[in-house]
Amino acid sequence: MTTAQVRIREAIANGETSLGIEFGSTRIKAVLMDKHFKTIATGSYEWENRLEDGFWTYNLVDIISGLQAAYSEMRLQTEKDYGITIRTIGSIGFSAMMHGYMVFDKTGELLVPFRTWRNTTTSVAAAKLTEVFQFNIPERWSIAHLYQAILNDERHLNRIDYMTTLAGFIHWLLSGEKVLGIGEASGMFPIDESTKDYHKPMVQQFNALIADEALPWTLEEILPKVSLAGEEGGKLTEVGAKILDRSRNLQPGIPICPPEGDAGTGMVATNSVRKRTGNISVGTSVFSMIVLEQALSDVYREIDMVTTPNGSPVAMVHVNNCSSDLNAWLGLFKEYSDSIGHAVETDQLFEMMLNKVLEADADGGGLLSYGYYSGENITGLEEGRPLFIRSPESNFNLANFMRTHLYTAFGALKIGMDMLTKQEKVSIDGILAHGGLFKTPVVGQKIVAAAMNVPVSVMETAGEGGAWGMAILASFMKDKEKDETLEAYMDNKVFKHTAGKKIYPDQLDVEGFEKFIERYKSGLKIEKAAVEHFLL
Tell me what the mean pLDDT of segment 514-531 comes to: 97
- H helices then E strands: how many in the chain? 19, 22
Indicate the pLDDT class of residue 270, thresholds 50, 70 and 90. Answer: confident
Residue 201 has pLDDT above 80, yes or no: yes
Average pLDDT over residues 374-397: 94
Average pLDDT, rounded, for the chain: 94
Mean pLDDT of 39-64: 94
How many CB atoms are closer than 10 A to CB 395? Answer: 15
Mean pLDDT of 279-301: 89
Res 377: pLDDT? 82
Band (63; pLDDT cuts 50, 70, 90) = very high
Residue 462 confidence (pLDDT) above 80: no
**Rounded CA Rg of the chain:** 23
Weakest mean pLDDT among 120-129, 261-270, 326-335, 390-399: 261-270
Span 415-434, average pLDDT: 92
The answer to whether residue 265 scores a pLDDT higher than 70 is yes
Question: Range with the lowest mean pLDDT among 51-65, 165-179, 460-474?
Answer: 460-474
Per-residue pLDDT tens for 74-113? 999 999 999 999 999 999 999 999 889 999 999 999 999 9
Q: How far apart are CA 201 and CA 219, in angstroms?
A: 12
pLDDT of residue 192: 94
Q: What is the DSSP letter of 149?
A: H
d(CA 198, CA 202): 8
Q: What's residue 436's pLDDT?
A: 80
* Confidence (pLDDT) at 463: 59
Is residue 311 over pLDDT 80?
Answer: yes
Task: Say whether pLDDT at 378 is over 80.
Answer: yes
Burial class (CB within 10 angstroms; exposed 0-12, middle 13-18, buried 19+) of 335: exposed
Residue closest to 516 by CA, chosen among 316, 381, 366: 366
pTM: 0.82
* Average pLDDT, integer, range 159-175: 98
The torsion region of residue 134 among left (phi > 0), alpha (psi -120 to 50) and beta comes to left
Q: How confident is the model at residue 1 (pLDDT cuts 50, 70, 90)?
A: confident
From 235-244, 443-452, 491-500, the region with the lowest mean pLDDT = 491-500
Three-state SS sequence of 45-88 = EECCCEEECCEEECCHHHHHHHHHHHHHHHHHHHHHHHCCCCCC
Res. 464 pLDDT band, cuts 50 70 90: low
Question: Confidence band (pLDDT; 50, 70, 90) for 145?
Answer: very high
Q: What is the pLDDT of residue 174?
A: 98
Q: For residue 203, report the phi and psi dihedrals to the nearest 5 degrees.
A: -60, -45
The span from the first CA to the last CA of the chain, in angstroms, equals 58
For the stretch 119-143, pLDDT in tens is 889 999 999 999 999 999 999 899 9
pLDDT at position 119: 86
So where are the chain's domains? Answer: 324-409+508-533
Q: What is the pLDDT of residue 461?
A: 65
Burial (CB < 10 A; 0-12, 13-18, 19+), residue 155, is: exposed
pLDDT at position 208, please? 98
Which tens digits make up the pLDDT trace of 217-230?
A: 999 999 999 999 99
Q: Is the pLDDT of residue 435 over 90?
A: no
Lowest-confidence region among 66-70, 101-105, 501-505: 501-505
- The pLDDT value recorded for residue 133 is 97
Q: Which residue has the higher pLDDT, 269 or 129?
A: 129
Residue 416: which pLDDT band, with cuts at 50, 70 and 90?
Answer: very high
Instruction: Read off the pLDDT band of 401 (50, 70, 90).
Output: very high
